[in-house]
Structure 1
Amino acid sequence: MYVYTWYQWLLFFFIYCFIGWVIESTYVSVKSFHFVNRGFLRLPLLPLYGSGAILMLFLSLPVKGNLLLVFLFGMVGASVLEYLTGYIMERLFKMKYWDYSKNPLNLNGYVCLGTSIAWGFLTILLTEVVHRPLEWLVFRLSAASCIFLVTGIGILFVYDTIQSTKAALDLGKVLESLTKIRAELEEVQVQMSLLKAETAQKVSELKSETMQMAASVKEETMVKLTSLKTETTNAIKESTLAERLQALTETREKITSRLTFYPKGLLRRNPSASSRMFGEALRELKENAKKFKK
């Protein structure tokens, strides 16, 4: 069993990518109360499911007929694949495209016990129920038909993968830039607050000293000059900080407003995506993507 040509294996891969997309999109759409084209790609394909299905078929070969071992092999194999895929994607793109951190018994948010068990049952369902009619259907196709389908879908798949990878890399750069700008904005705001407090304190002290000092014209003039100098220096600093604050705010708005269509689509397709390093920036971009959709 499972002795196929290279193009039949590829066709199975694309079929299971599509089935995975249907499952994920249906689940997320029902949960969100609106249609969500789920996944990393724009095509209705989820490579993780396609890769997982092919892996499940390979792993189940040595233990075919033993449902317990099929369950265990599928659960472990698919969980390892899911963990490695999630880990690599987060390192490359600065985001988790799925996150099980809130689920019990999870491992770094990439996998959790619940989904691992689900993978095991899906392996049994796949090998015992789903794959047999699909195998019969693929065997009914001629070699030319299979190669034509695989070539056509493969070209679209590769193109979409390249474009989606570029979009994800761009999105990661935007997250880094926004996070740096947010940190600078907070720093400037703190400096302005400290400067205002310092100015108010110095003015108050100078007024108090002026009232206590003898009514000497020379001394009074020196106090006024000192006060004026202090206020002028702080005013210049405050003006500079205000200009810097305005420039940073405008830069942040330009980044969020000019975010291209593909990264925004990537955000909408992955509403549960998270980022440990750039969480605040990601939330801001998600809100911006919602506005763009409207």
Structure 2
Amino acid sequence: MYVYTWYQWLLFFYIYCFIGWVIESTYVSVRSLHFVNRGFLRLPLLPLYGSGAILMLWLCLPVKGNLLLVFLFGMAGASILEYATGYVMERLFKMKYWDYTYKPFNINGYICLGTSLAWGFLTLLLTEVVHRPLEWLVLPLSRTACITVVLLISVVFIIDTIRSVKEALDLGRILESLTKIKAELEEVQVQIALLKAETTQKVSEFKTETLVKITNLKAETTSVLKESALAERLQSLTENKEKLTKYLTFYRKGILRRNPTASSRLFGETLKELKEYSKKYKKS
């Protein structure tokens, strides 16, 4: 069983990527009450599902026929793959593209008991029901036809992957920059508030202590200059924040819309603001 050529394996991979996209997009669209093109890529493909399906087929070869072991092997293998993928993506892109933190029996938000069990049942469904009809579809294809289809899909898949990775890296850098700017804005606003309070106090002293009028006047001038410099800094930071937010192109907003449950441990508040901006952009 499952003795295929490299191009047949690749074709199976793309088929299962598409099936995974259909499952995920349908589920999220029904919950959101509008269509969601789910996934990291813009193509209707979810590589995690394709990789998981191929891994399930490989792992279940030695135990095929034993439903319990097929279930356990598939559940364990797919869960390890999901954890590793989630861990690497968060380190690279500063975001969790799926997050099970609030699900019971989760491990660092990358996997949880419910999805792991679902992977086990999907393995049974895959090996016992789904894969055989797909074999009947793929195996009769001639070598030339199969390779042609695989190469065409692969070219588009690689281009989309490269662009999506670049955009996700850009988005991660934007999240980091906006978070730093936000912290600086808060600090400058606090300094301005303190200067205003200090200025008010000095004005009061100026009225009552006429003997030190010149000294107070100089201090007042210094405070005004400081406040002016801080105001300029505040304006500069605000403009930079607006520029970074507007830098989100259609495709970067698409990443946020395709992953509505995405989260970020380091930049959670900023990510929330960008999601809101993405929704406003879509409505406009």
- TM-score interval w.r.t. the shorter chain? over 0.9
Q: Give the Cα separation in 1 of the matches to 2:207 and 2:178.
A: 43
User: SS state of the match for residue 139, structure 2?
Assistant: helix
- Decide which of 223, 233, 239 is 1:244's aligned counterpart: 233
Q: How does 1:131-170 map to 2 (within 5 A)?
A: 131-170=131-170
Q: 1:230 offset after TM fit, Å?
A: 2.2
Residue 278 of structure 2 is aligned to residue 254 of structure 1: no
Q: Which residue in 2 is equivalent to 1:50?
A: 50
Residues 90-148 of structure 1: per-residue CA shift (max 9 Å, x gap):
10111100000010111010000110010000000000011111111111212111111
Residue 116 of structure 2 is aligned to residue 96 of structure 1: no
Q: How does 1:69-88 map to 2 (within 5 A)?
A: 69-88=69-88
Q: Give the Cα separation in 1 of the matches to 2:265 and 2:47.
A: 24
Larger CA deviation: 274-283 vs 224-233: 224-233
Residue 248 of structure 2 is aligned to residue 285 of structure 1: no
Q: Which residue in 2 is equivalent to 1:216?
A: none
Q: How does 1:186-197 map to 2 (within 5 A)?
A: 186-197=186-197
Percent identity of equivalent pairs: 76
Q: Give the Cα separation in 1 of the matches to 2:164 and 2:201.
A: 55
Q: Which residue in 2 is equivalent to 1:213?
A: none
Query: What letter matches 2:220 in structure 1?
Result: E
Q: Give the Cα separation in 2 of the matches to 1:104 and 1:226.
A: 65
Q: 1:204 offset after TM fit, Å?
A: 3.1
Larger CA deviation: 77-86 vs 174-183: 174-183
Q: Which residue in 1 is equivalent to 2:10?
A: 10
TM-score, structure 2 length as denominator?
A: 0.97
TM-score, structure 1 length as denominator?
A: 0.94
User: SS state of the match for residue 97, structure 1?
Assistant: coil
Q: How does 1:207-246 map to 2 (within 5 A)?
A: 207-208=207-208, 210=209, 220=210, 222-246=211-235
Structure 1: 5+ residue stretches without partners: 211-219
Residues 243-287 of structure 1: per-residue CA shift (max 9 Å, x gap):
110111011001111222221111111111110111122112112
Residues 5-59 of structure 1: per-residue CA shift (max 9 Å, x gap):
1111000000000000000000111111111100000000000000000000001
Query: What letter matches 2:224 in structure 1?
Result: A
Q: Which residue in 2 is equivalent to 1:217?
A: none
Q: 1:200 offset after TM fit, Å?
A: 2.2
Aligned residue-pair number? 283
Q: Give the Cα separation in 1 of the matches to 2:129 and 2:206.
A: 87
Query: What letter matches 2:177 in structure 1?
Result: S
Q: Which residue in 2 is equivalent to 1:269?
A: 258
Q: 1:203 offset after TM fit, Å?
A: 3.1
Query: What letter matches 2:107 in structure 1?
Result: L
In terms of Rg, which structure is larger?
Answer: 1
Q: Which residue in 1 is equivalent to 2:200?
A: 200
Residues 134-172 of structure 1: per-residue CA shift (max 9 Å, x gap):
111111212111111101101110110011011111111
Q: 1:205 offset after TM fit, Å?
A: 4.0
Q: 1:66 offset after TM fit, Å?
A: 0.7
Q: 1:206 offset after TM fit, Å?
A: 4.4
Q: Give the Cα separation in 2 of the matches to 1:254 and 1:194.
A: 28
User: SS state of the match for residue 97, structure 2?
Assistant: coil
Larger CA deviation: 24-33 vs 137-146: 137-146
Q: Give the Cα separation in 2 of the matches to 1:3 and 1:243.
A: 68
Query: What letter matches 2:266 in structure 1?
Result: M
Q: How does 1:175-190 map to 2 (within 5 A)?
A: 175-190=175-190
Query: What letter matches 2:110 in structure 1?
Result: Y
Q: Which residue in 2 is equivalent to 1:215?
A: none
Q: Give the Cα separation in 1 of the matches to 2:41 and 2:250.
A: 13
Q: Which residue in 1 is equivalent to 2:65?
A: 65
Q: Give the Cα separation in 2 of the matches to 1:76 and 1:276.
A: 26
